[in-house]
Amino acid sequence: MPDRVVLQDVTLREGEQGSDRALDPKTRMALARHLVDAGLTHLEAGWPGVSKQDQEFVRQLRDALPTVHVQAPVALYAANWEEQIAAAHACGVQTVALLHPASDLRLRTLERLSRQEVLQRVHVGVQAALAVGLSVTLVATDATRADPGFLVEVALAAQQAGAHRIGLPDTVGCATPEAYGALVSQVRRQVGLPIHAHCHNDFGLALANTLAGIRAGASLADVSVNGLGERAGNCSLAEAAVALEVLYGVRTGVRLEALAAVAREVARAFGTHLPGQAPLVGDLAFAHRLDVHVYGATFWPQLFEPLDPASVGNRRRLLLGRHSGARAVSARLQALGIDPYGVPVRALADAVRQLATLLGGGISDEVLLVLARTMQSQAVTSTEGVISHENR
């Protein structure tokens, strides 16, 4: 693994492509600020080459957050690709990602171009973007279903024209980590340009493929908050950043402690549900319910947690339900500042299990405290009754 990698957030582009909500400029700017505050330095912010609204937003973004590196996609396969480059340049983006299909499937069906025509378009497109002072990434779309030999030809054509980076998207999320890593390694070795990884999650492998690509030499990888993106989405920002930083020791520059808050803000903005068990950022990502887990996590959290929830801006939740025993109830009382020695804990645990079964769910801290105080009161009353009887 490298010492450092750049994570480029594509939420403001892929997020809208993968949802039924078009964000207003104010909301988009607020999300951009959250991303920058979380340490992201590279963003995509829509399609300024095809949308006047996106063009204006990118201009505002560059004015408001001048240190952010903004990349704009350009459909090099489209008839108006030159106008798209001009529009991207006009609004102040630093890099254009020139998208052109490399798979025979796309070339035969949608584009109806020969391989030679593709190589010519790549050469001309790269030079056109360079001519106006833009940094250029040539993105060979559908790379994982392209003929590997032709894919290298496309990358070499871009290199010879002066491109700065090669993008290798797993456009339909069909690659395995082994295959994606091998593809990145091959292109990196034969072409020599930095590699940009972009992985979709159709088979649930976006994170694994992104990590494989980075291990194989990719120096920049696309991520999105909560994995938002077309179809099944993209590689999750939180999962990629934490895996790289914590498991592999790779620096990303991301402030991990900001991740949970960013996840909530993005879910709210797009009107999507953030699953409770979303890794690292969900409400239940650090929740414990089984008796021994609640007890253990109270006193030795490392027994059942891979990292401190506060390190990603989340919190630990100790839940009680129909499987909770006396140890879990006692631990939860202590966490709430109640001395368990003054409470009939076993009877309280029985009551917790019975009520949880009756309700068909968990027992909140508020309900636990009511039960505990009721039993404390009953215990005191019972004791007073015994003393009164003995004194007669």
The whole-number pLDDT of residue 337 equals 87
Angle 68-33-233 (CA atoms, 0-180°, nearest 5)? 85
E strands within 224-329? 287-288, 317-318
**At 392, is the pLDDT very low, low, confident or very high (cuts 50, 70, 90)?**
very low
pLDDT over 50 at 383, yes or no? no
- The string of pLDDT tens digits covering residues 124-147 is 999 999 999 999 999 999 999 999
3-state class of 205 per DSSP? coil
Question: Which residue, among 67, 52, 63, has the nearest Cα to 29 in the 3D structure?
Answer: 63
Tokens of 385: 């009754």
Question: Which residue, among 201, 207, 311, has the nearest Cα to 260 in the 3D structure?
Answer: 311
Let me know: does 32 contact 41? Beta carbons within 8 Å: no
Strand partners, 223: 9
Mean per-residue pLDDT of the chain = 93
**At 379, is the pLDDT very low, low, confident or very high (cuts 50, 70, 90)?**
low
**At 21, is the pLDDT very low, low, confident or very high (cuts 50, 70, 90)?**
confident
- The string of pLDDT tens digits covering residues 362-371 is 888 899 999 9
- The string of pLDDT tens digits covering residues 234-290 is 999 999 999 999 999 999 999 999 999 999 999 999 999 999 999 999 999 999 988
pLDDT over 70 at 389, yes or no? no
Let me know: does 282 contact 274? Beta carbons within 8 Å: yes
Quote the pTM value: 0.91
Residue 231 zone, left/alpha/beta (φ > 0; ψ -120 to 50; rest) = left
Distance, in Å, from the CA atom of 255 to the CA atom of 241, rounded to the nearest integer, reads: 9
Give residue 163's Cα distance to chain centre.
28
**At 388, is the pLDDT very low, low, confident or very high (cuts 50, 70, 90)?**
very low
Please report, rounded to a whole number, the percentage of residues in the chain having pLDDT higher than 90.
80
Distance, in Å, from the CA atom of 217 to the CA atom of 195, rounded to the nearest integer, reads: 7
- Total residues found in the chain within this entry: 392
- The string of pLDDT tens digits covering residues 159-190 is 999 999 999 999 999 999 999 999 999 999 99
Distance, in Å, from the CA atom of 245 to the CA atom of 254, rounded to the nearest integer, reads: 9
The whole-number pLDDT of residue 381 equals 57
Tokens of 335: 């966490």
How many C-beta neighbours within 10 Å does residue 16 have?
20
Distance, in Å, from the CA atom of 210 to the CA atom of 216, rounded to the nearest integer, reads: 10
| Rounded average pLDDT over 203-224 | 99
Let me know: does 186 contact 175? Beta carbons within 8 Å: no
Distance, in Å, from the CA atom of 118 to the CA atom of 314, rounded to the nearest integer, reads: 48
Tokens of 181: 């890593």
Identity at 59, one-letter amino acid code: R
Tokens of 286: 């650090």
Give the domains, in start order, of the chain with CATH numbers.
6-254 (3.20.20.70), 287-387 (no CATH)
pLDDT over 70 at 391, yes or no? no
pLDDT over 70 at 155, yes or no? yes
Question: Which residue, among 178, 176, 362, 378, has the nearest Cα to 287 in the 3D structure?
Answer: 362
Angle 171-194-28 (CA atoms, 0-180°, nearest 5)? 55
Alpha helices by DSSP H, the chain: 16-17, 25-37, 52-64, 81-90, 104-106, 115-131, 148-161, 177-191, 206-215, 237-242, 259-270, 291-299, 326-335, 345-359, 365-390
pLDDT over 80 at 30, yes or no? yes
- The string of pLDDT tens digits covering residues 332-358 is 898 888 888 888 999 999 999 999 899
DSSP letter string over 231-254? TT-B-BHHHHHHIIIIIS--B---
Let me know: does 222 contact 8? Beta carbons within 8 Å: yes
pLDDT over 50 at 384, yes or no? no
| Rounded average pLDDT over 94-118 | 94
Handedness of CA 87, 89, 92, 93 (dihedral sign): positive
